[in-house]
Amino acid sequence: MEKMQPEDLTSMVQNLMLDFADLTGLQPQGRAPRRYLWTDAFAVCNFLELYGRTGEKRFEQLALELVGQVHDILGRHRGDDRRTGWISGLDDEHGAIHPTAGGLRIGKEMNERRFDEPYNEELEWDRDGQYYHYLTKWMHALNRVSRVRGEAVYNRWAIELAKAVHARFVYVLPSGNRKGMYWKMSIDLSCPLVSSMGHHDPLDGLVTYLQLQTAAKHFNPAAGSVLDAEVEDTVHLCRGKDWTTDDPLGIGELLSFACKLAQLILHEGLPYEDVLEVLLKSSRSSLESFEGRSFFRLPAQYRLAFRELGLSIGIRAMGKLLKLFEQAPEDSERTRSLHAQARDLIKYAPLSDVIEEYWLMPEHRNTGGWLAHRDINMVMLATSLAPDGYLSL
């Protein structure tokens, strides 16, 4: 497939995101909206990217309307729940002022597992609740809105979300001298639904908290330590971890974390070069392992597009990371080493083209596999094609 020109690429992203807005009830209004936290976080970033590319206020407005819908729907109890109102327990007035104070639901079709129901691993994927790694994505989306609009309130909501969920997801192990993190919590954050820890969740938390705290300091220098305790916990949880993975989405997330952390190090002077070095090494090991698999030979109906597109987004992040290092002064051996590692990863850039070209083919987007996850697939494809809205801080 011939490489798209910038204007054609913007048009493709625009079409994908306007279709998403229509299909999920964002616009035109009047139908019952369908909101899902992970997908909507990426969608907010994509609308902000379109606003930056085109200057059209309607895309900024779509981002803001999506934020409002997510808070109003996923910040409240489900329609099929005996409980009503904000999941934080706040009254309507205070809940609207602090919409993230109780966390946000995933947005799954099935209600959460009842306390008297046995655990079923397969069913749990389809049940509602709260996922830590979805919540951090929403923190990131709110932070991006705050930075684009220059308004502190969105970052404040992100920090309120971080504090609320960190206090419930992170716990002290029985030994008393170490902490752990739950993978999935109940809608009201009262109990864990899946007790194991997500592979990259502590790393996700660390990078996101640093991002929020840095933004808070820009808005108000006195707020520069607002998440110090949460950062300390995630640093502890990250210590000694091997982030290597063979999951394409997981690899993409590692690469995206590296890009975001590098921006915080090079632009804000944060002292986390050691974490970035581990991230880059784990990314290389993961990509080397993935490259040898026959993953892409499977027919479209047996592939999960959004997971592949997550990898593509991460690989796009490597191009951005390399530019960051090229523009930064190499004033230390550590910086030169990190730059060399980033240069080494850029050899995987063609993988992004392969993934995007495959899922841009109409016949591959007419399969059951694509249509079963259409919302998230459309949004992740749009992010891969125009990733700066998601990757830039």
Q: Model confidence over 119-141: pLDDT tens digits? A: 998 999 999 999 999 999 999 99
Alpha helices in the chain (DSSP H): 6-23, 37-54, 57-74, 92-97, 121-124, 132-149, 152-169, 201-219, 228-238, 248-268, 273-291, 305-327, 333-345, 350-360, 368-372, 374-385, 388-391
Residue 331 has a pLDDT of: 74
What is the model's pTM? 0.96
- Do residue 265 and residue 384 come from a single domain? yes
Given a cut of 60, whether residue 24 has pLDDT beyond it is yes
User: What is the model's pLDDT at position 29?
Assistant: 73
- Domain with 274, as residue range(s), is 242-393
Residues 355 and 246 in one domain: yes
Rounded-to-integer distance, Cα 124 and Cα 133, Å:
16
**11 and 58 co-located in one domain:** yes
What letter represents residue 316's amino acid? Answer: R
Q: Does residue 119 lie in a domain region?
A: no
pLDDT (average), residues 20-29: 91
Q: Are residues 156 and 247 in the same domain?
A: no
Band (pLDDT 50/70/90 cuts) for residue 186 is: very high
**Within a domain: 95:** no
Does 199 map to a domain? yes
Q: Do residues 87 and 102 touch, judged by C-beta distance below 8 A? A: yes
Question: Has residue 47 got a pLDDT over 90?
Answer: yes
Average pLDDT value for residue range 168-188:
93
Query: What is the Cα–Cα distance from 305 to 105, expressed in whole angstroms?
Result: 24
pLDDT averaged over every residue in the chain: 94
Answer whether 264's CB lies under 8 Å from 393's CB: yes
End-to-end CA distance of the chain: 31
Is the pLDDT at 3 greater than 70? The verdict is: no
Average pLDDT over residues 318-347: 88
Q: pLDDT confidence of 315, banded at 50, 70, 90?
A: very high
pLDDT at 330 over 80: no
Same domain, 58 and 110: no
* Any domain includes 91: no
- Sheet arrangement for strand 192-194: 130-131, 184-185, 192-194
Taking residues 194-216, report their average pLDDT.
96
Same domain, 353 and 279: yes
Residue 176 is predicted with a pLDDT of 76
- Tell me how many domains the chain contains: 3
Residues 189 and 254 in one domain: no
Lowest mean pLDDT among 105-109, 153-157, 304-308, 325-329: 325-329
Residue 8 has pLDDT above 70, yes or no: yes
Percent of the residues in the chain that have a pLDDT greater than 90, as a whole number? 84
* Residue 49 confidence (pLDDT): 98
The type of residue at 207 is V
User: Based on the domain organization, do 207 and 158 belong to the same domain?
Assistant: yes
Q: How confident is the model at residue 1 (pLDDT cuts 50, 70, 90)?
A: low
Residue percentage of the chain with pLDDT more than 70: 98
Q: 28-42, 196-210, 282-296, 379-393: which has the minimum mean pLDDT?
A: 282-296
Residue 80 lies in a domain: no
Q: Is the same domain home to 221 and 278?
A: no
Answer whether residue 373 is part of any domain. Answer: yes
Give mean pLDDT, residues 30-34: 82
Q: Are residues 106 and 198 in the same domain?
A: yes
CA distance 392 to 51: 14
282 and 320, same domain (yes or no): yes
The pLDDT assigned to 64 comes to 98
Same domain, yes or no: 48 and 108: no
274 within domain boundaries: yes
Predicted confidence (pLDDT) per residue in 218-247, tens digit: 999 988 899 999 999 999 999 999 999 999
Domain end marker among 197, 220, 239: 239
Domain annotation covers residue 368: yes
Task: Flag whether pLDDT at 212 surpasses 60.
Answer: yes
pLDDT score of 2? 57
